[in-house]
Structure 1
Amino acid sequence: MHHSICSLLGLIVLCAAAQADGVNLTSLYGLGLSNSAEILYASDSDFEEETTHRWTLYHAPTYYGAIKPATEADIQHIVRTSVEHDIPFLATGGGHGVTRTLGRLQNGISIDLSNFQTVELDEENSFITVGGAATYQQTYEPMYRAGMMMAMGNAPCVGVVGAALGGAVGMWQGLYGVGIDSLVSVRLVTATGDLVVASQTENAELFWAIRGAGANFGIVTSATFQLQDAVNNGNVASTSFVFPAKHNASVWEAVRSFDTEIPDELAVTAIASFNHTAQEPTILVNVNYYGPALDAAQYLRPFEEAGPLAAIPVTLPWTTLQQLSLSVDAAACTPGQYVADYSIALKQTDVDAYVSAFNALTAFWEEHEAFAGVLVIDRYPNAVAKRVADGETAYPHREAIAHLLIENHYPDSSLDDSVNALMRETRARFQATSGFDELSVYVNFAQGDEGAEAWYSSRKLERLKELKRAWDPNELFSYSNPIPI
């Protein structure tokens, strides 16, 4: 067992000088860990390289150090020891948590799940079981070889479990619903350090809660998902359109044309960004059709008529589609950036709201050379997601037809006040025409200032509060968009 510069042969003596913060993690946790577990200190020169690097440094938590458990028993021991010594903790999988509420943890420990990256595919029963830190990228080839798929998030580097606990909205939603609809069971370490299974038949109330609010209830060590056959032999007809800024209203009109009717096989993603060299914004629209290219043609017409500068059609395997997406937005998998996300769920498309937001964002781009934000519209069908009754899971956004996400990239906190003011004004503008009675925000995209009713909905919040009081009364798991007790 690696303990940074500290050794079990002389815990107190060798570590005393090493702990500038006065917390000797090795003496507190070491004797209860397995031989393969590791303890690392934030003061170690290789701490960043040896631990999971956060995607964004915005409102980041701070740690005395990290513990890399090797077994589920290690995690149980870490939780119990942390409770005993009143040390706050966060479990880290893919490292893509974006909410500012994570920054409430200051001077705690990271439970780094890097050793929990297993991927096991049971082809006979169409199941895939992943460890708590496995990423989507690790599941692609096993699923593709088996001719199977499930609903997933969009970025290959995102942790499967982390995305699924919030819902797992993504570009395959039209075919398979949201990611939690495929979730069969999880193994989870609770606030008491117990290891439990949650499924439809075991701890069913907990299983209800973790499907949409899962970060509030424990540390998932592994999760099993039901797979389905890949559509069109796993091939996608993907067309990318590039539009000039002056055609932005036409682009939003094209998006709106799918408000009332959209085939399950279609997914539309629009990304507006700014080229500081050319001093002009551009809009990229990616239209994916999970079927033959000839069948896709009719759904491309609204965008063809919107006046693109270019249209690039390709047919490719869905695994390559992710690489195409990443080539467009490489920042999605680049750790260590300063990114402030704002988002809102929409029930309808209001063209005027988009035009107004696009113009305001363009003015901000032009004024601030260091600002490199992108506006993303994820327009996915929700018919399959709505076949699961609203009351079946804690996830509250099945009525949403789109999620608007603005990823604000800039160097440091000096632009925080200006960015936050613009984003809150933009969010309010969309909320007024969203079609929802209350602010609705997908929890995995949340900024963290919206509140529990926006993340979990007022209709589900009381039930979630009751379950929070039952499973985590001391609010140990309350750093990621917490359910208030």
Structure 2
Amino acid sequence: MYTIFSKLLVALATFLPLTFVTAIPPTLKRTPNDYTPLSPSPSIIQQELGLCLSKNASLYFPSSPKFQNYTLRWSAAMDPDFAVVVVPAADREVSCTVKFATKYNVPFLTVNQAHGTASALSNVYNGIEIYVSALNSIDIALDGNSALMGGGTYQDQVVTYLAAHGKTASTGACGCVGMMGPGLGGGFGRYQGYFGLVLDNIISMNVVLANGSMVTVSASSNPDLYWGMRGAGHNFGIVTSFNYKIHDQPVVDWFVETMIFTADKLEAFFEKLNALGANGTQPVGLFTYTLFAMSPEISKTEPVIIFTLEYAGTKAQAEPLYTPFLTLNPVVTTNVTVPYTGVAHASGAGVEDPLCAKGDSWKTFPVGLQVYNIATNRAIYNIYSKMISENPEFNNSVVQFEAYSMQAVKAVDPASTAYAHRADNLLVSFATVYPANHTLDAIADTYGKQARGVLHAGDAPGRPLNTYVNYASTDETPEQMYGYEPWRLAKLRALKKKYDPNGRFNFYAPVNP
């Protein structure tokens, strides 16, 4: 670690090995935005950037043993190339890092929990990683209705902190994922039936723009950007802190039921799931999460159906919801009642669970749907099974069926934010998981795109292909991610021209590809 207040370190920087300079010719290292192919030397970085960093900030170069820890991603399929990692301790340090990157015409990428799956992240060459995890403060307002949170906060941290004060909020469903990464693109979670998406609860944001300036974004300050940041925010700036709605806890405990079915129950299972309210009418406080997955303890050759029902209430209150599925005779059934702080782990999505482990390659192919098409889901099961049988390296892949309560989401005017897919009731994703090996990327793309096409074909007639921007990973178009209404993209592209005319934030799902 290199702290930035010692002139001695600046002097020593000239002797650091230039391990970040690769053997690839500079002409091959140019990005679509024509960035400078080689980064400034470590001595220049320390000397110039170090002037605006406090003693609490840090720099990591590739020669540092900790560099890999700060650059390891959840999906190795998206592998940006960094010359240095900056860990700012204050929002002004984010600002000066962006200004430094602009001065030397090098790319930069903001990272919190490193879960983004957009393939264009790999277009970052010799760039600067701005690792915002240290910006993780949480301060609850005196009235208890909001909290000021740092841009580096993550789901489990927020849930745990708020619960200790008798509060809760709309957060994502996976404990290890950041708040603002998903929030800028939507933010699905267990409490969205009560409070809406993560982005629906953002009161204001402190944002560093592409030119390094710092602005406040809210309904009264830069309202045009407030609209665009809530749904397409990755395009416009870096959120260093945000004022967020919080709420009294609606319930004390959550009930979590998990069942595993063999494939012969597939049709009957999805019939019951549709009857439960998969058309967007399922009860407030209910979240169902279904997987096609391999479970060697049950079958070494046939994928199984893993079903998790999570309910904001007691076991007795949830009994009418889960009992119909017991009639299908699951091969495994377990249940537990836990406080909300334990729900993510109870469903396998906690910080320490395998789902949060980094280092494998993930590519997700999402589709927003109206209702489960049972014939389509059988076809998807067959595609998944074929992929696994022909490519055992993909054994950890899954097909995800996510059904959240939609009442508060649909209550928001679709035109009021840049998020365009409030009419989607379900989120289905063909998620390919395989060892970090780029020779396997093409296999993932082939099966994923085939499955996505089949899922879309089975949706309600005439509906366009909607893809969730936070799961986007390959060739999704701006229309698929941000909506097909011409006015939406026109408005977003006007904002892009105003706030990021040089495309500095074009590495994650750009509105101008």
TM-score, normalised to structure 1's length?
Answer: 0.94
Alpha-carbon separation, structure 1, partners of 2:443 and 2:11: 51
The one-letter code matched in structure 2 to 1:88 is: P
Shift of 1:6: 9.6
Distance 1:19 1:366 in 2: 40
Letter in structure 2 aligned against 1:381: S
Distance change in 2, residues 1:269/1:18 (3 Å)? closer
Q: Is 1:373 aligned with 2:397? A: yes
- Between the aligned partners of 1:305 and 1:19, the Cα distance in structure 2 is 59
Residue 365 of structure 2 is aligned to residue 342 of structure 1: yes
CA distance in 2: counterparts of 1:16 and 1:315, whole angstroms? 54
- The equivalent residue for 1:306 is 328
Matched, 1:215 2:234: yes
Equivalent residue number for residue 104 of structure 2: 85
Please give the alpha-carbon distance, in whole angstroms, between the structure 2 residues aligned to 1:15 and 1:123.
49
Mean CA deviation greater in 160-169 or 294-303: 294-303
Equivalent residues of 1:187, 1:221 under 8 A apart = yes
SS at match of 2:290: strand
> In structure 2, the residue corresponding to 1:184 is in which secondary structure?
strand
2:188 aligned counterpart, secondary structure: coil
Q: In the superposition, relative to structure 1, how do residues 74 and 327 fare at CA in structure 2: closer, same or farther (>3 Å)?
A: closer
Q: Which amino acid aligns with 1:27?
A: I
Q: CA separation in 1, counterparts of 2:349 and 2:110?
A: 29
Task: Classify the secondary structure of the residue corresponding to 1:400.
Answer: coil
How many Å separate the matches in 1 of 2:268 and 2:378?
A: 10
Whether 1:285 and 2:313 are equivalent positions in the alignment is no
Structure 1 residue matching 2:509: 3-state secondary structure: coil
- What displacement does 1:35 show? 3.0
Q: What is the aligned partner in structure 2 of residue 457 from structure 1?
A: 483
Aligned-residue offset at 1:265: 2.2
Segments of structure 1 that go 5 or more residues without pairing to the other structure are none
Instruction: Give the match for residue 252 of structure 1.
Output: 270
* SS in structure 1 at match of 2:227: helix
Provide Cα deviations, 1:232-278, integer angstroms capped at 9, x if missing partner: 23x11221111112212222222222234321121111012113572
Counterpart residue type for residue 346 of structure 1: L
- 1:16 and 1:101 map into 2 onto residues whose CA distance is 29
Distance 1:26 1:172, change over 3 A: farther
For 2:246, the equivalent position in structure 1 comes to 227
**Counterpart in 2 of 1:480?**
508
In the TM superposition, what is the alpha-carbon distance from 1:123 to its structure 2 partner? 5.5
The correspondence of residues 104-119 of structure 1 with structure 2, limited to 5 A, is 104-119=123-138
Equivalence for 1:14: 15
What's the counterpart of residue 48 of structure 1? 68
Give the partner amino acid of 2:431: E
Query: For the structure 1 residues 53 and 134, does the alpha-carbon distance in structure 2 shift closer, same or farther, using more than 3 Å as the test?
Result: farther
For the 8 Å contact 1:63–1:109, the answer to whether it is kept is: yes
Indicate the larger mover: 19-28 or 102-111.
Answer: 19-28
Instruction: Name the residue aligned to 2:29.
Output: none
Contact 1:240/1:313 (CA < 8 Å) preserved in 2?
yes
What is the RMSD of the two structures over their aligned residues, measured on CA atoms?
Answer: 2.2
Q: CA deviation at 1:284?
A: 1.2
1:197 is displaced (CA, Å) by 0.7
- Aligned letter for 2:464? E
Q: Provide the secondary structure at the position in 1 that maps to 2:162.
A: helix
Amino acid paired to 1:465: R
Give me the identity figure in percent: 25
**Structure 1 residues 206 and 232: CA distance shift in structure 2, 3 A:** same
Quote the offset at 1:381 in angstroms: 2.0
Distance 1:180 1:19 in 2: 37
Q: SS of the counterpart of 2:393?
A: coil
Structure 1 residues 313 and 123: CA distance shift in structure 2, 3 A: farther
CA distance in 2, matches of 1:213, 1:26: 36
Matched, 1:24 2:41: yes
- Which of 361, 373, 387 lines up with 1:364 in the alignment? 387
Q: How far off is 1:407 after superposition?
A: 2.2
Asked if residue 318 in structure 1 is aligned to residue 340 in structure 2, the reply is yes
Match of residue 182, structure 1, among 201, 206, 230? 201
Cα distance change, pair 4–376 in 1 and its aligned pair in 2 (3 A) = farther
Deviation at 1:165, TM superposition (A): 0.8
Counterpart of 1:482 in structure 2: which amino acid?
A: P
Which position in structure 1 is the counterpart of 2:499?
471
C-alpha distance in structure 2 between counterparts of 1:219 and 1:7, whole Å:
32
Q: Distance in 2 between matches of 1:273 and 1:456?
A: 30
Mapped to 2, the partners of 1:179 and 1:105 lie a distance apart of 28
SS at match of 2:184: helix
| Preserved contact between residue 232 and residue 292 of structure 1 (Cα < 8 Å) | no
Cα distance in 1 for partners of 2:213, 2:443 equals: 45
- Match in the other structure for 2:407: 383
The equivalences for 1:150-229 within 5 A come to: 150-229=169-248
Amino acid paired to 1:484: N
Question: For 1:326, what is the secondary structure of its paired residue?
Answer: coil
Q: Hey, what does 1:429 align to over in structure 2?
A: 454
Tell me which amino acid in the other structure corresponds to 2:15. L
What is the SS of the residue equivalent to 1:232?
A: coil
Distance, in Å, in 2 between the alignment partners of 1:239 and 1:181 is: 29
Residue 312 (structure 1) shift = 2.2
Does the residue aligned with 2:304 lie in a helix, a strand or coil? strand
Letter paired with 2:419: Y
**Whole-Å separation in 1 of the counterparts to 2:55 and 2:332:** 57
2:378 aligned to 355, 360, 372, which one? 355
Relative distance call for 1:416 and 1:448 in structure 2 (3 A) is: closer
**Letter of the aligned partner of 2:343 in structure 1?**
L
What does 1:139-154 align with in structure 2 at a 5 Å threshold?
139-154=158-173
| Contact 2:414-2:420 at 8 Å conserved across structures | yes
Aligned to 2:25: none
Amino acid at match of 2:490: E
Counterpart AA for 1:297: E
Name 2:121's counterpart in structure 1. Answer: 102
CA contact (8 A) 1:6 1:15 kept: no
Number of residue pairs matched by the alignment:
483
Alpha-carbon separation, structure 2, partners of 1:484 and 1:401: 27
Q: Higher mean Cα deviation, 335-344 or 294-303?
A: 294-303
**C-alpha displacement of 1:11:** 6.2
Aligned CA distance change for structure 1 residues 429 and 72 (closer, same or farther; 3 Å): same
Structure 2 CA distance for partners of 1:8 and 1:263, relative to 1, 3 Å: same
* Cα separation, 1, equivalents of 2:459 and 2:315: 32
Choose the corresponding residue for 1:443, options 448, 469, 473: 469
Deviation (angstroms), 1:295: 2.5
Which residue number in structure 1 is paired with residue 33 of structure 2? Answer: none
- By how many angstroms is 1:5 displaced? 12
1:286 CA drift (Å)? 0.9
